[in-house]
Chains A and B, each alone.
Chain A
Amino acid sequence: MNGVRPTQSGRRKSNVRRDQTFDELAGKCGEWLRGTGPESDIVISSRIRLARNLADFPFIRRCGDEDRLSIERTVRARMDKITELTDVRYFDVDELSEVDRQFFVERQLISRELADNDGARGVAIDPGEQFSVMVNEEDHLRIQVMHSGLSLETAWDQINRLDDLLESTITYAFHPKYGYLTACPTNVGTGLRVSVMMHLPALVITRQIDKVFRSLQKISVTVRGLYGEGSQYTGDFYQVSNQITLGKTENELMQQVAEVVPLLIDYERRARQFLIEQSEKDLHDDVSRALGILCTAKKISSEETMHYLSKVRLGVNLGLIDDVAVKVINKLFIHTQPAHLQKLRGKLLGSSDRNIERASYLQQHLSGQGKRESGLN
């Protein structure tokens, strides 16, 4: 069967891997930045993850090398038996080069923690990048489903089915009173984290974002940066998530987040309207200068790129910039990240060379024909 296949080894950390899967993925945008679905000018993606542990192993922190290996082998063998997961591709994360691991982090297919951990660990990824299953992260299993735009219910249906499939062959650690048991008590119960990624540039420009988030904390909803807990709010992207996991059903927890999202959309739209009404010239100038910098810079960092792309995205969505397609901007957000840039250019690059290469990449795709087409490569 060609289900969960082992990855090639023996080429680690030498060069940028020319692997068909990586090349295919690199050319694409990634599910979370595809930019389609309801409210997609503001809501980037909907993501749900479930934390699960095998009942007969210690949690990761107390696992020795042998335990980690056994868990990985068990999970891999069991997933291989599930016919619905035939197309899933399994990657041995310990065997991947640093740039490959970073590539998966940038695509949100694995967490920073999984990339940085030691020992046997892996990830199963579906070709459409809608779901991934991390093995030996903070918990034995972290199942994740991601959809473009606002579609929590669809995401829940998919992850629930996936969880049922895995549970049909793996015995989870479960307690009648405390639910699914997790390494950290903040995840126990449902093990559910619902995250809606939003692009909120106008709330940032109008300096209302802190006020908005302060009010959110009162209703058990938490806000994190682009790459999860502890990451910075790069490119004005924010993830809104449930804070608790125990004492409410999965549906109730999803509702908590789902109720907040329309409010944030409304605030962001009002802030955009305010900017147009009060200072359209200033805003037009700001977004046009941002585009100008991206089109003409000769060296540019990833952070600076995100900063200006965010402004350009706002400009495009408000019709202030009319000759750049929003899908081009969405793709550039991910293609200009360090590992993606190296994959797309087919070579390892140091930080300084990346900045030069990034500027040239931006120029190539934001001028002439490139800016209307999404077929970036």
Chain B
Amino acid sequence: MKCQYCEKPATFHITEVLGADGPQVMHLCEEHARTFLSKESPTPAATIAGALAKQLKLGGKPSAETEQKECPVCGISFFEFRNTGRLGCPYDYTHFESELEPLLVNIHDAPRHTGKRPQRAPVSADSQATLIQLRREMEEAVEREDYEQASEIRDRIRDLEASGNRGSDD
């Protein structure tokens, strides 16, 4: 979907519930979302997406260095996250922790989880990150048609999955 004011993709979908003509849905690119939100009165954000957009705006534009910072596991840059509002892999929460924490504090009540926890003993985060990284490398190998490399990586993924899973079944 395109932004309703320009040709860029709409990454923010904001429902304005306070308008005189009743609720109105806005589909905006980041830039127009910023403009739209900056015009708003300082009332709490109307929607969840709006809250995120607002926090990204309040955070100001990070330094070029931060923007270019990339996750070594999935390859997403902080710029791409800011642009889309979506992270690339679980490891991003660790890699971008210093950038994400102020955002999480602003969106949520507190930056620490107090709810339910998985009952199983956690599997090594390192091997999970390695798996994600290998999957990326395999896709890249397939893209450049290096099937020998892709097949090697696939074997490594299978080995790792087999050692990590109690019951591999697929």
Contacts and interface: CB of A to CB of B under 8 A. Distances in A.
A186 B107 contact: yes
A163 B120 CA distance: 12
B122 A184 contact: no
B132 A230 contact: no
A184 B52 contact: yes
Interface stretch (A9-17, A39-47, A168-176, A314-322): A168-176
B72 interface: no
| Residue in A58, A180, A229, A230 whose Cβ sees the most chain B Cβ within 10 Å | A58
Contacts of B165: 171
B120 A171 contact: yes
**Majority secondary structure, A binding face:** loop
A160 B48 CA distance: 23
Contacts of B116: 160, 163, 190, 249-250
A164 B17 CA distance: 37
Nearest to B107: A186
A64 interface: yes
A138 B120 CA distance: 25
Contacts of A218: 44
A253 B51 CA distance: 17
Contacts of B84: 61
Interface in A162-198: 163-164, 167-169, 171-181, 183-186, 188-190, 192
A210 B74 CA distance: 43
Contact of A225 (B15, B113, B142): B15
Nearest to B76: A62
Interface string A195-230: 000000000000000100110011010111100011
Interface string A83-94: 000000000000
B115 A249 contact: yes
B87 A175 contact: no
A231 B27 CA distance: 12
A64 B139 contact: yes
A82 to B, nearest CB: 12
B93 interface: yes
A363 interface: no
Interface string B129-161: 001100110110010000000000000000001
B39 interface: no
A232 B17 CA distance: 10
Contact of B88 (A59, A168, A188, A222): A59
Given A217-B43, A248-B114, A61 B86 contact: yes
Contact of B169 (A77, A138, A160, A178): A77
| Residue in B84, B132, B136 whose Cβ sees the most chain A Cβ within 10 Å | B132
Given A74-B170, A184-B87, A250-B115, A56 B161 contact: yes
B29 to A, nearest CB: 15
Contact of B90 (A70, A160, A175, A222): A175
A36 to B, nearest CB: 29
B48 A67 contact: no
Interface in B26-51: 27, 43-49, 51
Nearest to A241: B48
A58 B46 contact: no
Nearest to B161: A56
Contacts of B73: 58
B64 interface: no
Contact of A189 (B43, B46, B115, B135): B115
B170 A244 contact: no
A304 to B, nearest CB: 16
Contacts of B86: 59, 61, 138, 183-184
Contact of A179 (B52, B107, B115): B115
Interface in A138-175: 138, 160, 163-164, 167-169, 171-175
A225 B118 contact: no
B169 A78 contact: yes
B100 A185 contact: yes
A178 B128 CA distance: 17
Interface string B104-117: 10011111111111
A235 to B, nearest CB: 13
Interface string B59-93: 00000000000000111100000001111111001
A132 interface: no
Given A58-B88, A186-B52, 5 more contacts: A56-B128, A58-B136, A61-B87, A184-B85, A213-B17
20 contacts: A55-B90, A55-B125, A58-B73, A58-B88, A58-B132, A171-B118, A171-B165, A175-B90, A175-B113, A179-B115, A184-B86, A185-B104, A186-B49, A214-B18, A214-B43, A220-B109, A229-B13, A230-B15, A247-B111, A247-B113
